[in-house]
Structure 1
Amino acid sequence: MSEPASPYQGPIVSCLRLFLSVDLVGSTAFKQSSQVAQKLEDSNERDAVEPWFSPIAQFYKEIERLFAREWQSYVAGWGKKLNWPSGQSPELWKSAGDELLYTKVLSDHREALACIVCWKRAVSEYRQVLRTNHPSLDMKCTAWIAGFPLTNTEIVFKKHIDGLDDDDPVYVNLFLLHEYYRNSSNPDLTIDFIGPSIDTGFRLCALSDARKFIVSIDLVLMLVHAIRAKPVGANEVDLVFHYEGRKQLKGVIGDYPVFWIDMAADSGLDQIEDKLLRVEFSNTDDIKTFCELYFQSNSSGMIIPYIDGDQDGYFSNVPHGHKEKLIHLREYWVAESARRSDEVKSLADKGDGAEAKTEQVDGILKTIIKLLRDNTES
């Protein structure tokens, strides 16, 4: 689902990422079920793989295929009709057991809404396949956003240990980030994401179920803002939101507001039960007002999300202190890169066998310093 990479700007660039999770429900019992083995008893698959493998593998492949198809449909079709941007395509972050996690860098808040709609369509379509072929299985979804490199951090690991000789973990990670973004296809490097927003996202995953597509409050604000400003007749981007109050999430400060997108709006049983329980969907006016007041009352620990360069001023306001922190981090990166370059050159001048390393590091650091000085000045 990837698109041509944008020009490399260095490892310290403000970005907002959308995260999407889909998890198979009932997969543990399914793998242990004797019915699976019985169903494939007369199949050649029995001797080739475990009997539960094909359905699980199909889940991996079909979610990828359907999500890619829906995203391409948005980019080439209704996205153009709405005159909405697309930015970078979503991509697989990782799998965790029977859970798939995707991420997308957002260049505009409307991309988040488009991506959620595409994701919902892909999951809903594959749910029909599961109901027909494997009715004991279902799926649940969660979505959240996280800002980088402040508040949260991209971290790069080397798959092969080589004893990188540097006792500054901040610099080492920036160096590896630089290497990764210069060549993200490098098989020796893998990227991960850590931070409080990522922790909150995984806490929200525990609250989701087959009907409740849980969405973080900052993402909810972004979604309803886009919905409220959509062109007349743009029914492609309608979503039904519910609110079920605040809940205590382990490790998350304060009571967290729980919003969810309805993944079973067409179920007659659920509709009748909603009437009995007096469950109502929330209108976007009330949601937007609530989110704004919630952010105001929790201003010490939460901020309205922002996207550098967003066309809507509502999401392009960089909070106080963030620009200064980015400049400080870039200055640190430039200074430390230059210092290490000088040290390597000094070793080479002394004939300590560092000539090859000098040429490699010097070329890398010249690129780093130029790019980041340009970014700092802008």
Structure 2
Amino acid sequence: MNTFGNIFRLTSFGESHGKAIGGVIDGFPAGIAIDMDFIQNELARRRPGQSAITTARKEADAVEFLSGIYEGVSTGCPIGFVVWNTNQHSNDYDNMKEVFRPSHSDYTYTQKYGIRDHRGGGRSSARETIARVVGGALAKLALRQLGIRITAFTSQVGPFKLDKDYTAYDLERIEDNPVRCPDQELAKEMADYIFKIKGEGNTIGGVVSCVVKGCPIGLGEPVFGKLHAALGQAMLSINAVKGFEYGRGFGDMEMKGSEQNDIFYNDNGHIRLRTNRSGGIQGGISNGEDIYFRVAFKPVATVLMEQPTVDINGNETILKARGRHDPCVLPRAVPIVEAMTAMTLLDFYLLNKTTHL
């Protein structure tokens, strides 16, 4: 299960402290101009060491394409790529080799496979998401031609959260602060809080929201291929994600159906909706309105303080983690959420084309 997608497919490989992270993308349309600077900038948004509130690991995360691109244009052949790891501190994990870290995959990986790479979490590390961001950047380049724009942003960190609908904020300003929140004053409070949590050796979670504009009507399949189900699966595959909610989700549970329904009207010959509580998807199929959803991230499991646990033989012990870790994944998770959204939408766009003559 290292492959994502149906027609547009990404197969990723690599571990946190291995030689590289990489992937192969199949099903990418031919003739798409490949903007290398854009792809590298997307990786820069995800890379470690970008601010005082992220992990201190320093990686250039420079992508090297191996195939599928000729003279700056996609050929329709498989696109192979690699990002070399250059700044591993594997010795930081020596004390974890025979100990199960609380809330990590150490125990489940050991039980399932009988072996695990303890260095930085191996394959379970969020460093694996590099491949997703490359795939998502390519998908974004294709979606641009369709007028589809994807914007994710941090909407909550711990107790600090946006109190208005996304339409009340200027989403063009999310890169104006290291938290990637559109409210600049709240972003400062979030950043200060994350820095305080980091100083305590602790971690904190929150929510990333995402908005898709320009999505055409008709993406999504009946019953088992619903668009919101695919987006939910994509988001829940991201490290540390604990919840997915689209449209108003849990927010309108006190409302009656007559109050919650999105009412249709005729807008100069075009059928529109007066409200968008459905989140741009009805019956599992996009309806042309904005798609919006929220993704909940738990606090990072690795805390730099003593915690009780057991070793591989079941003996109770105390673990104090070392190494370089994010006190909050939200700022670096924003481009990952966008990437998974882009790959899902491009895949479903290509699927939709196969259903029409």
Q: TM-score, normalised by structure 1?
A: 0.22
Given the two structures, how large is their TM-score scaled by the length of structure 2?
Answer: 0.23
Greater relative contact order (Cα < 8 A, sep 6+): 2
User: Greater share of helix residues, 1 or 2?
Assistant: 1
The structure where strand makes up a greater share of residues is: 2
